[in-house]
Chains A and B, each alone.
Chain A
Amino acid sequence: MIAMRIDTKERTALLAVVLGSSLVLAQEKPPSGLTSQEIAHGYEAPTRWPTYSGDYTGQRHTPLTQITPANAHRLSAQWTFQTGIIPRRGYEGTPLVVDGVMYLTGPFNTAWAVDARTGRAFWRYRRDLPNDLTYGAVSPVNRGMGLLGNRLFLPTADAHLVALDTASGNVVWDTALADYKIGYAATAAPLVVKDKVIVGISGGDFPTRGFLDAYDPETGKRIWRFYTVPGPGEAGSDTWPGADVMARGGGATWVTGAYDPELNLIYWGTGNPNPLYYGEDRKGTNLYTASIIAIDADTGTLQWYHQFTPHDTHDWDSNHVPVLAELPIAGQQRKVVMVANRNGFFYVFDRATGKLLVGKPFSDTTWARELDANGHPIVVNDGSKGCLPDQWGSTNHMPPSYDPARRLFFVTVRETCAAYLPVKEEIVPGRISNSGTVRRDADRSYGVLRAIDPTNVERKWEFKYPTPTMAGTMSTASGVVFAGDNEGNFMAFDAATGKNLWFYPTGAPIWGAAAMSYMLDGRQYVVIGSGTNVTAFALPPQ
């Protein structure tokens, strides 16, 4: 990897020296790159951010401690990388960093390797996308890549998975996940688990059938697929009215999941049933849409699931980063998976069995205020009695973070107000099938960063924003929470109190992205994407 930071002139000089000492450089093996064990160790090497959420837990909580509540006010921008590509919504990706090189993606399937000290590019990749994209045209977004060995794994707007060489950006293999022409696309950063690349699919707003796949990182060959909507006669098919509806039932898997190596289980969220708002032609609870699924990493078989929003008609995908932790609940230390859901409820499950341990609202949702004995919402307002959270939900796909030492879950909450207007519409392959729309009341909506105790969903502190925001959070072991807002501020907060410590106006909404962090040359960098830019911040050099 070091050779990548040497320019051509220096490389020529180095070659001459090396040849002069009768070593043959060409026979030197390239570095073998990141191993799956190193990914499993997550933050162990402080110079790395090896996977979308930082590690398999999805906590997005870095052990780095250079930046503290006492010095965060001294943070300043160190470099800005210009993607040059205007996004439809915002910069949603999380870069990866290994051996001083940052790998990042942009909209429309662009990718770069840049110097993590300066933001200077080594190479650029851009995919030639077809001009008849479906979901990929609606949302040409990309949230990042997976990395194993010397290969990056990039999901594409035309529903392919592409492996790129880390040193050059050259395509190693290119595998079609699904037919983009009927509505599929791929946007979520893949999760590398042992010898497999786990990748989700997007396009549940189109008449598609969602799935979660595993691929061989060497060949790009598919190893297993789990359909999030069952086939005829399969378990769960009795929650749908018929095979034709199931075949386009939605349940996309467009946000990266978490993984427990001990249980060998992958936790992943599933999206809305299709069509979005009109549910009369898909009566039933519509498994396994709007759910969390626990999948055996070796076989792709379902171990347990929980459906958060049965028969959803509000576009409340359950595509969230599941967060793994250990929590004291009812006097017992439990290994749990936590989800702050778009429907306004916060859930804690035993992650081995799927038993629901905690389920309470973390927002001011008026849809439901409690769950029944099965963990399903007791709906008190279908929308006819005033506001519900809008179709973007009480939170969305922006990653939350979790501080295990302070036992605080940090989540961006959208307190919103909207009325739903379903309409029966013809379902056409390749065409988005909203079947209705939403009337939002912007005057009664706002955003808030909230810290909650996950054992009882008590609100410990919060910080309000003028408008609903789509920025994620990252926290640090030193007690700092990084967050963003729709007004474009990138901010640091005291994790214990919620006091704002610092803010930097980036000039564009921070939308879907959350910060990541790494050490380099003894300095802690914190990176966020916003608009067309990715910016790295650090304290002044010592």
Chain B
Amino acid sequence: MHIRAFICAFLLVCLFAIGADAQDGPNPGQQNAGAIASGGTLYRARCAECHGADAKGVAGHDLTRLWTSGATDERVFQTIRNGVPNTIMPSSTAPDGELRALIAYLRSLNGPAAPEPLRGNAENGERVFAANCSSCHAINGLGGRLGPDLSRIAQSRAQLTEAIRSPASAIASGYQTVTVVTRDGERVTGTLKGEDAFSVQLMDTSQRLRAYMKPGLKSFVREPGSLMPEYGVNRVSESDLDDLIRYLSTFRPAAGRPRREP
């Protein structure tokens, strides 16, 4: 349910789907303050529209945690160069130098590249996941669909903690809670998958896809909260939380192992 979790997971899929052959080489602009400034200019002109002025994502993804999530300069380069198929992220014909400057700028926004130390017990984490999460979240094809797929979740400990303890703090697009009441009185709550002036598409809490024409509804309400309950310490102890995050981290794609989708 956490927007950043969803964003990073998706971005990693995109990054790893592209650029398999290139080796990670030194980025000439990496340490260059001029390149960072120039990259900032390029970023504001070409990227900020979708990725946000602070690069934390709007329509596009959060770009401030790319490297800590295992991306490399070359993979980011290839993503910018080739675009992301089936999304609005276009390819770029800009000179290599401009893309390198852009990467230098993005790198300057990213936190320290050193991975966070792992702690917790993944085996117990899997049990915690099965008991609390899997009815709504899937990993590697197993689990529910009401919440985002967590197979490639790649987030910091702090982000995952917030997503589990306070899921309403940020809700990914496609997972906002809505309630409709039909003209014959049926009340259906679910996650909003789509809406236009005439219709609404949602997944109800039994994970059925349902669609309604608006004139056939008595009401259509966007709920402020998340369908995901808050998992406070009374439901998931600090120790279990460590284990759960460790378990989720086992699915993080390892740096330096790019994959190309078939």
Contacts and interface: CB of A to CB of B under 8 A. Distances in A.
Interface of A: 88, 131-133, 137-138, 205, 421, 423, 425-426, 431-440, 442, 463-466, 485, 487-489, 491, 500, 503, 505
B44 A423 contact: yes
Nearest to B92: A137
Contacts of B53: 421, 437-439
Contacts of B131: none
Nearest to B199: A505
A464 B41 CA distance: 36
A214 to B, nearest CB: 32
A540 B90 CA distance: 40
B223 interface: no
B47 to A, nearest CB: 9
Interface string B196-220: 1110000000000000000000000
B58 A485 contact: no
A434 B44 contact: yes
B196 A464 contact: no
Contact of B198 (A434, A435, A439, A503): A503
Nearest to A132: B93
Contacts of B59: 442
Contact of B196 (A88, A137, A487): A487
Given A137-B93, A138-B46, A442-B58, A425 B196 contact: no
Contact of B44 (A131, A426, A436, A500): A436
A505 B196 contact: yes
Contacts of A485: 196-197
A205 B41 CA distance: 13
A109 to B, nearest CB: 15
Interface string B11-46: 000000000000000000000000000101110111
B196 to A, nearest CB: 3
B60 interface: no
B52 interface: yes
Nearest to B88: A88
In order of increasing CB-CB distance, the 3 nearest A-B pairs are: A487-B196, A437-B48, A437-B44
A489 B196 contact: yes
Given A436-B44, A439-B53, A463 B93 contact: no
B208 to A, nearest CB: 22
B238 interface: no
Contact of B197 (A133, A436, A465): A465
27 contacts: A132-B93, A133-B93, A423-B40, A423-B44, A426-B41, A431-B41, A432-B46, A434-B44, A435-B41, A435-B44, A437-B53, A438-B48, A438-B49, A438-B53, A439-B53, A440-B58, A442-B58, A442-B59, A464-B197, A465-B197, A466-B197, A485-B196, A487-B197, A488-B196, A489-B198, A491-B197, A505-B196
Contacts of B195: 466, 487
A436 B54 CA distance: 12
A163 B207 CA distance: 57
Nearest to B59: A442
B94 to A, nearest CB: 8
A485 B58 CA distance: 20
A480 to B, nearest CB: 17
Contact of B45 (A433, A466, A488, A503): A433
A485 B59 CA distance: 18
A491 B198 CA distance: 11
A153 to B, nearest CB: 27
Interface string B112-141: 000000000000000000000000000000
Contacts, number: 63
B52 A439 contact: yes
A301 to B, nearest CB: 35
B143 to A, nearest CB: 30
Contact of A463 (B46, B90, B196, B197): B197
A463 B214 CA distance: 14
A108 B123 CA distance: 54
A434 B53 CA distance: 12
A491 B196 CA distance: 12
A487 B197 CA distance: 8
Nearest to B48: A437
A137 B98 CA distance: 14
Given A435-B44, A437-B49, A463-B197, 6 more contacts: A431-B45, A434-B45, A438-B48, A489-B197, A500-B197, A503-B198
Contacts of A434: 41, 44-45
Contacts of B45: 205, 431-434
A133 B93 CA distance: 8
Nearest to A449: B197
A33 B38 CA distance: 52
Contacts of A436: 44
Contacts of A488: 196
A387 to B, nearest CB: 15
A205 to B, nearest CB: 8
Contacts of A425: 41, 44
Contacts of B90: 88
Given A131-B93, A439-B53, A442-B58, A466 B196 contact: yes
Contacts of A137: 93-94
Interface string B52-81: 111000110000000000000000000000
Contacts of B40: 423
A7 B41 CA distance: 54
Nearest to B198: A503
A435 B93 CA distance: 21
Of B45, B53, B94, most buried by chain A (CB within 10 Å of CB) is: B45
A53 to B, nearest CB: 26
A131 B49 CA distance: 24
B108 to A, nearest CB: 15
A44 to B, nearest CB: 36
B93 to A, nearest CB: 5
A440 B51 CA distance: 11
Contacts of B93: 131-133, 137
A501 to B, nearest CB: 12
A303 B113 CA distance: 61
A438 B59 CA distance: 13
A432 B98 CA distance: 12
Contacts of B196: 465-466, 485, 487-489, 505
A438 B54 CA distance: 10
Nearest to B93: A137
Nearest to A419: B53
A88 B88 CA distance: 7
Interface in B164-178: none
Contacts of A503: 197-198
Contacts of B49: 437-438
Most buried by B among A133, A437, A440: A437
Contacts of B94: 137
A436 B90 CA distance: 21
Contacts of B198: 489, 500, 503
Contacts of B48: 437-438
Interface-central residue, B40, B41, B48, B54, by most chain A CB under 10 Å? B41
Interface centre among A131, A423, A434, A488 (most CB of B within 10 A): A434
Contacts of A466: 195-197
A132 B58 CA distance: 29
